[in-house]
Amino acid sequence: MLEQPEFGQLLKTLRQQRGLSQAEVAEGGMSTAYLSRLESGARRPTAKVLDHLTRRLGVPASVFQGTHTSLLGQALASASSSDDTDDAIRLLGEAVQAESGEDLSLRWLSLWQLAQLHAKQGKRQGELAAARELTELSDRLEVSTLQVRSRTLLARCLRAIGDIDEARAVAQAALITADNGAVPAADTIRAQLVLVSVEAESGLITEARRLADQLLEPIDALPPVLRAEALWSAANVRIRQGDYPGAVELLQRALTELPSHVDLVLRLRLAASSLYLQMTPRRVTEAQQWLAEAERALGLFGGPLHRQELLVIKAHLAFYQRDLVQAKMLCEQLTDALPQLTFRDRIRLEVLAHQIRILEGDREAGVRRIEELALEAQNASNVHLASEIWRTLAETLAWASERQAAPASGSPRTSTRESPPEADSAPR
């Protein structure tokens, strides 16, 4: 077994990579204080403690059995301690390709780290490839926890690129495995959260609501991060059902009960702004407030993907604040970032660009492209997104007709700052 402090350093790395708190790992096997001393190197683990840790972390005991001198082990160590994400991806990617390795657990851990690095950079195809190999490898290892985590990650990747049907099948498989194996409750909940999102996007709102309500039943017993994510998911489903009062209540609760988890603080503020813009009528003022909060948080922390997501929401917000010049500028600024956006954000941003095109007078080309994007969403089984696009097109055509009719009524021709339908008034 690894000696201290190397054992504690590896233990802490494995825990943090899985997004688990010390309390979640310690539960049922030791006190949080004891786990903290293990991680700091102040205590040595007993055989019983080691067995508990491997089960909670979902890794075989061999991970803790001495140092790794293989190329893959060296690359993992270098990548985990590197501040240069691109360099870490290169190191791990080369090592994974060069060495198949007999230590499957080390390979699994390396691929997991590689997937996280790809996600951080918005390299969705790289993350997807790593998730697929993780899923295959977890089946070879026959560790239920790894099978659930791999499939949850894969389902999330598939949803992000717009493959809703496969995402649903993979998320359902993750939940079946979780039900049949000794898997930490947090992993089951994460798989449920992905399935809620997939069902909602595919138009199966009743099923999504049922799953979301199941997550809310033990809400107070959930760890803080999962509690906030469950409230967020349930609010998203209610918005798609048109239950705006219920959505606002859950969203406000998620935002006011935020744990001290900086990434989630930023993501939920961005999500709140986006969700308020999806309501009918759109809650532009509230969206603007939460976007301002997110932008302040982004100034302190956050990565390139957070910045891109913020700009996407800013573009939509500018449109509904009647500032077509700003909205168009932001759309053009994000052109190079389209491959890094999720399928949903990419489609919605392209729709926005062609809404502006229609309002600028190029009606035929704008309508044709929006219709193509609606069909693309429909063919991807993203029924909710397709419905949103058709509704958006109808609103835009109505607004364009009003702008054209304005001079005929004797009033001055409206400027690019005229208000779109169904938007609340927002202070300039």
Q: What percent of the chain has pLDDT over 70?
A: 90
- Given a contact cutoff of 8 angstroms between Cβ atoms, the answer to whether 318 and 330 are in contact is yes
For residue 147, is pLDDT > 70?
A: yes
Please report, for residues 113, 194, 200, 396, 422, the alpha-carbon distance to residue 283 in angstroms, rounded to integers and kept in the order given.
Answer: 39, 26, 21, 18, 9
* 59-99 residue pLDDT tens: 777 777 755 456 677 777 777 777 788 888 888 888 787 66
Please report, for residues 57, 58, 142, 219, 228, the alpha-carbon distance to residue 20 in angstroms, rounded to integers and kept in the order given.
Answer: 9, 12, 22, 17, 15
* Structure-block tokens of residue 280: 């009918």
- Binned at pLDDT 50, 70 and 90, residue 415 comes out as very low
* Structure-block tokens of residue 339: 């491959």
pLDDT at residue number 194: 96
pLDDT at residue number 327: 96
* Beta-carbon contacts of residue 295 (< 8 Å; ≥ 6 apart): 310
Q: What percent of the chain has pLDDT over 90?
A: 47
Q: Which whole number is the average pLDDT over 153-181?
A: 94
pLDDT at residue number 139: 93
* 113-145 residue pLDDT tens: 899 989 888 889 999 999 999 999 999 988 899
- Binned at pLDDT 50, 70 and 90, residue 427 comes out as very low
Name the most confidently modeled range: 147-156, 282-291, 401-410. Answer: 147-156
Q: Which residues of 195-214 are buried (b: 16+ CB within 10 A; e: fewer)?
A: bbbbbbbbbbbebbbebbee
For residue 409, is pLDDT > 60?
A: no
**Alpha-carbon distance 285 to 384, whole Å?**
24
Q: Which whole number is the average pLDDT over 371-400?
A: 94
Strand partners, 282: 423
Amino acid (1-letter code) at residue 1: M
- Binned at pLDDT 50, 70 and 90, residue 15 comes out as confident
Please report, for residues 59, 62, 116, 228, 371, the alpha-carbon distance to residue 127 in angstroms, rounded to integers and kept in the order given.
Answer: 21, 26, 7, 25, 30
- Given a contact cutoff of 8 angstroms between Cβ atoms, the answer to whether 124 and 305 are in contact is no
Please report, for residues 32, 230, 250, 251, 276, the alpha-carbon distance to residue 245 in angstroms, rounded to integers and kept in the order given.
Answer: 39, 17, 9, 10, 11
Cβ count within 10 A of residue 333: 13
pLDDT at residue number 428: 28
- Given a contact cutoff of 8 angstroms between Cβ atoms, the answer to whether 309 and 127 are in contact is no
More confident residue, 73 or 283: 283
More confident residue, 166 or 71: 166
pLDDT at residue number 389: 95
Please report, for residues 148, 249, 294, the alpha-carbon distance to residue 14 in angstroms, rounded to integers and kept in the order given.
Answer: 16, 36, 29
pLDDT at residue number 190: 93
pLDDT at residue number 128: 96
pLDDT at residue number 70: 62
* Structure-block tokens of residue 342: 């999720």
* Structure-block tokens of residue 107: 């390979």
* 189-207 residue pLDDT tens: 999 999 999 999 998 999 9
For residue 384, is pLDDT > 80?
A: yes
Strand partners, 423: 282
Q: Which whole number is the average pLDDT over 340-358?
A: 94
